[in-house]
């Protein structure tokens, strides 16, 4: 939300549109309807917590994109998107909102018709959070002469290589997540209620760092302790931090919707040997993985090097160990394109950003030591300088 200063220049949005249109043309599409909030924002600048109602961006092969959503959110669109045209923002009546008797897609079908697309080839993001099965059936029925094609991921893939300004925002988010981890290490102590610690994490993240304001992360802080940390996605309650338990902190700094996630693990009290062994194995495996993080290599090269090193030390991890990151909205801070795992042959390019996320779950806790990285011209750069080790206190 920046009325006096847009997040990006109009030229940058135009470059994004051109890239996206090239991908559309390749697929023989006349238009796409984009409902992923991250894609909407990347294409137009739109920023608002309105994705709980149906909305999207219509992009044809020429002209300005069209923002479409609830009428009351059209005002927020006017304040955030780069487009100036009167017709670039179209709102639907409030009676369409969460009303079983009518569906917003009826309104969208009318608008697509008005734009001359009623018998055209239109791409829709069929496997997205904010495009439901009902939405698709309604649109298909109302636009019976059009051909609807699945373009899940089409815009996401255009986002993979970041611009200079995007990298700058991710670096600011990196400064913020560093500050969050510093604050954890500073204030966490035995007996502290978990929610009080989460409050500190949130406050630090949103105050920001080095004068860069903190935006909301696309996932809330995850900080399970002890046995709860054998499960990856539990959030928090008020149980106190205890001696003899590890707590992992899977958190992200965010700036202008750009996300920089990084995890660290804190052990309170004397560290059991198996945690030291796990730490040593993970640190070696991270080094092995990072060595493969360079242009021309494939995403799976990082995973394979990481896993081979981990296995040699007697540990196993059977889930992916990284994914692309950038601009994002809840419920996920990943880009849902490239994954670090066996079989992912995506080729790394300079300007791509990833969360290298080698979490290890043990029988009585979890260990997460992770690194957000940027692929550079001749290798990679870790976005954060947070000390890479198991933290110990108390």
CB of 89 to its own copies, least distance (A): 11
Closest by Cα among 375, 392, 352 to 159: 352
DSSP output for 79-118: HH-S---GGGEEEE-GGGTT-TT--HHHHHHHHHHHTT-T
Q: Judged by CB, which is closer to its own copies: 18, or 234?
A: 234
Q: CA dihedral defined by 7, 167, 299, 235, rounded to 10 degrees?
A: -70
Q: CA dihedral defined by 254, 322, 385, 203, rounded to 10 degrees?
A: 30
Of the candidate residues 232, 272, 295, 350, the single one contacting its own copies (CB under 8 A)? 232
DSSP single-letter state for residue 259: E
Of the candidate residues 23, 97, 161, 185, the single one contacting its own copies (CB under 8 A)? 97
CA distance 92 to 114: 14
CB of 351 to its own copies, least distance (A): 21
Q: Is residue 362 near its own copies by the rule CB under 8 A?
A: no
Q: Is residue 351 near its own copies by the rule CB under 8 A?
A: no
Of the candidate residues 339, 353, 370, 386, the single one contacting its own copies (CB under 8 A)? 339
- Cis-peptide into 331, omega within 30 deg: yes
Give the binding range for its own copies (CB under 8 A) out of 15-23, 59-67, 177-185, 199-207.
Answer: 199-207
Q: Is residue 100 near its own copies by the rule CB under 8 A?
A: yes
Q: Judged by CB, which is closer to its own copies: 163, or 235?
A: 235
Contact 73, 48 (CB under 8 A): yes
Q: How many residues bind its own copies (CB under 8 A)?
A: 86
Find the distance separating the first CA and the last CA of the chain, reported in whole Å: 42
Of the candidate residues 26, 62, 86, 133, the single one contacting its own copies (CB under 8 A)? 133
Q: CA dihedral defined by 131, 137, 139, 140, rounded to 10 degrees?
A: 130
Of the candidate residues 258, 315, 340, 361, the single one contacting its own copies (CB under 8 A)? 361
Of the candidate residues 11, 62, 316, 318, the single one contacting its own copies (CB under 8 A)? 318
CA distance 256 to 162: 14
Of the candidate residues 87, 114, 150, 186, the single one contacting its own copies (CB under 8 A)? 150
Of the candidate residues 159, 181, 292, 341, the single one contacting its own copies (CB under 8 A)? 341
CB of 179 to its own copies, least distance (A): 12
Q: Is residue 245 near its own copies by the rule CB under 8 A?
A: no
CB of 94 to its own copies, least distance (A): 4
User: Does an H or E element contain 180, and which?
Assistant: helix 164-187
CB of 376 to its own copies, least distance (A): 25
Give the binding range for its own copies (CB under 8 A) out of 9-17, 261-269, 298-306, 338-346.
Answer: 338-346
Phi-psi region of 269 (alpha: psi -120 to 50; beta: other; left: phi over 0): left
Cα-only R_g, the chain: 22
Q: Judged by CB, which is closer to its own copies: 17, or 35?
A: 35
DSSP output for 258-312: EEEEEEEEEEESSPPHHHHHHHHHHHHHHHHHHHT-STTSBHHHHHHHHHHHHHH
Contact 356, 371 (CB under 8 A): yes
Applying the rule CB under 8 A, the residues between 53 and 82 that interact with its own copies are 72-73, 75-76, 78-80
- 29-58 mask for its own copies (x: CB under 8 A)? ------------------xxxxxx------
CB of 70 to its own copies, least distance (A): 8
Q: Give the side-chain half-sphere CA count within 13 A for 313.
A: 23
CB of 283 to its own copies, least distance (A): 22
Of the candidate residues 110, 216, 379, 382, the single one contacting its own copies (CB under 8 A)? 216
Residue keyed to tokens 């009325």:
3
């Amino acid at each position: 939300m920046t009325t006096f200063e847009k997040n990006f220049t109009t030229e940058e949005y135009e470059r994004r549109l051109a890239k996206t249109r090239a991908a559309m043309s390749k697929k023989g599409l006349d238009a796409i309807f984009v409902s992923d909030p991250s894609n909407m924002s990347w294409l137009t600048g739109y920023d608002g917590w309105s994705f709980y109602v149906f909305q999207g961006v219509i992009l044809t092969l020429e002209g300005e994109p069209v923002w479409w959503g609830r009428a009351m959110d059209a005002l927020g669109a006017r304040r955030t998107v780069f487009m100036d045209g009167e017709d670039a923002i179209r709102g639907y009546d409030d009676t369409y909102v969460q009303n079983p008797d009518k569906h917003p897609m009826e309104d969208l079908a009318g608008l697509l018709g008005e734009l001359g697309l009623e018998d055209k080839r239109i791409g829709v993001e069929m496997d997205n959070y904010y495009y439901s099965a009902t939405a698709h059936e309604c649109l298909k029925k109302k636009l019976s002469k059009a051909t609807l094609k699945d373009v899940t991921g089409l815009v996401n893939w255009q986002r993979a290589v970041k611009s200079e300004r995007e990298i700058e925002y991710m670096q600011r988010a990196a400064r913020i997540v560093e500050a969050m981890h510093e604050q954890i290490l500073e204030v966490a102590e035995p007996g502290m209620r978990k929610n009080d610690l989460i409050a500190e994490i949130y406050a630090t993240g949103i105050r920001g760092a080095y004068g860069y304001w903190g935006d909301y992360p696309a996932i809330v802080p995850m900080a399970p302790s002890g046995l709860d940390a054998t499960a990856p996605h539990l959030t928090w309650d008020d149980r106190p931090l205890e001696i003899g338990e590890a707590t992992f902190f899977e958190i992200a700094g965010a700036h202008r919707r750009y996300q920089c996630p990084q995890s660290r693990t804190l052990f309170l009290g004397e560290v059991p040997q198996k945690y030291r062994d796990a730490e040593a194995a993970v640190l070696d495996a991270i080094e092995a993985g990072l060595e493969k993080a360079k242009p021309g290599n494939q995403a799976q090269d990082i995973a394979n090097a990481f896993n081979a090193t981990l296995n040699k030390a007697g540990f196993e991890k059977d889930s992916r160990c990284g994914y692309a990151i950038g601009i994002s909205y809840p419920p996920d801070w990943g880009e849902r394109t490239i994954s670090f795992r066996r079989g992912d042959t995506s080729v790394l390019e300079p300007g791509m950003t990833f969360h290298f996320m080698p979490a290890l779950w043990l029988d009585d806790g979890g260990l997460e030591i992770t690194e957000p990285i940027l692929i550079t011209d001749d290798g990679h750069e870790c976005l954060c300088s947070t000390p890479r080790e198991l933290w110990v206190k108390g």
